Amino acid sequence: MSGGTGEADADAESPTGGRRAVVAKRVDSGEADLTEIGQLAAAAGYDVAGELTQTRTEDAAFMFGEGKVAELRDLVRRTDAEAVIIDNDVGPYQTFNIGGKLPEGVEVVDRFTLILEIFGQRADTRKAQLQVDLAELRYELPRAEAKASLAKRDERPGFMGLGEYDESVERDIKRQISEIRDELESIAEKEEARREQRRDSGFDLVALAGYTNAGKSTLMRQLADELAVDENDERHRDLDTTAESQDMLFTTLGTTTRRAEMEKRDVLLTDTVGFIADLPHWLVESFESTLDSVYRADLVLLVVDASEPVEEMREKLVTSHDTLYERNEAPVVTVFNKIDRLEPGELADKRAALSGVAPDPIAVSAKTGAGVAELRDRVEGELPDWERERLVLPVSDDAMSLVSWVHDHGHVAEETYAGDQVTVDFEAKPSIVSRARAKAAELSAPPAEESA
């Protein structure tokens, strides 16, 4: 068994004014990595004042060994921490037991409680707040059920300090879960209708997916046209400004959609909440409505931080594929981002090492713009095929309106005028071509004979 502790200067001013916290993690084997939990703590507004790790099998009562919990208590006292953040799935009884060993008033926060706290801070839409509420309720439900089980078994309300059990609490949680699911389903139906309206208007839908801090928001800023979408257009009333690019986890909790700059196609690009390691199934399911923008896209760009070690990239790629291919039918293009951080030859080595999980990645630097032009070409090449059509129309005001409509909804290769006819040679989605043919047929049809 092994372990370690570390601490910041307890007398130093908090650099951000946030609550001081100690982060801790137990692993069965190997070395515990506190990098991500530190980033999560910072994203939630905590200042990490100390660190503690342990390598050993899980203790049923305390998660860590009891001696390590005593070290944790001492570290909290030395750093004057207000919270202990544990990068493990800590059970309700373990949480209570650890808390009982800490100074009074020190909060015990496990990994998933921390993530929910971050989500709650980022939830600035009704949909996002509903998803956070659903996740919190699904997190609380098994704890309410555990209280019920103990109360029935031991006939001792408040057993193990978990609080007095009221069987109506469990019923109320289930009722709230059902109501939130119904409202989220209603929102999802409206969003699906909007997606289909956009497709009918000639737009292809492309989703950015990947782990937090992979650079999705920065890449979106490279691709997105901030002013190209008419905010008065009913098709795009919901669109927000392009996602901010910050070195912080969960900068985007919900989805941000903008029109992307492509040579021929009108593409709407959606940036979604980033994946994060070791999320339980119930938490992923709570944000299923947000993931619909990925599952129902025409193309998915899976963004990976190419500056990370190969094994870490491999693990994230495999986990991302499990999430994406569970319900997604659209093609997935892997994007190796942050190539500006790589040494010469390193990109080729990583391509070769990861060819089994990323057979044909495209390499870019969202920061410098390197490779972004090639990415645009790749996006257009991977999207569903367009049809080629040639319309010959009589010159008239209605025909000119149709020509303008074709320009807006497809790519016009050639437009020529001869005598009293205009010829339009264009490419577009099959649904757009079909509608253009129908409109052209109406223009070419002879006028109905007037009744005598």
Q: What residues are designated binding site for GTP?
A: 210-217, 271-274, 337-340, 365-367
Phi first, then psi, for residue 391 (nearest 5°) are -110, 135
**In degrees to the nearest 10, what's the CA dihedral of 90, 96, 97, 102?**
100
Binding site per annotation, positions for Mg(2+): 217, 252
Q: What is the largest CA-CA distance in the chain?
A: 103
Binding site per annotation, positions: 210-217, 252, 271-274, 337-340, 365-367
Distance of alpha carbon 50 from alpha carbon 264, whole angstroms: 53
Q: Residue 288 — left, alpha, or beta (φ > 0 → left; ψ -120 to 50 → alpha)?
A: alpha
CB 22 within 8 Å of CB 91: no
**In degrees to the nearest 10, what's the CA dihedral of 94, 97, 98, 101?**
-170
Residues contacting residue 209 through CB under 8 Å, at least 6 positions apart: 216, 272, 275, 294, 300, 301, 302, 303, 320, 324
CB 73 within 8 Å of CB 99: no
Entry field: residues in the chain: 452
State which H helix or E strand residue 270 sits in: strand 266-271
Identify the three-state secondary structure at position 144: helix
Q: At what angle do helices 126-154 and 288-295 cross, to 10 degrees?
A: 130
Distance of alpha carbon 93 from alpha carbon 95, whole angstroms: 5
Strands ordered across the beta sheet of 46-55:
2-7, 46-55, 19-27, 83-86, 107-110
**Cβ neighbours of 435 (radius 10 Å):** 18
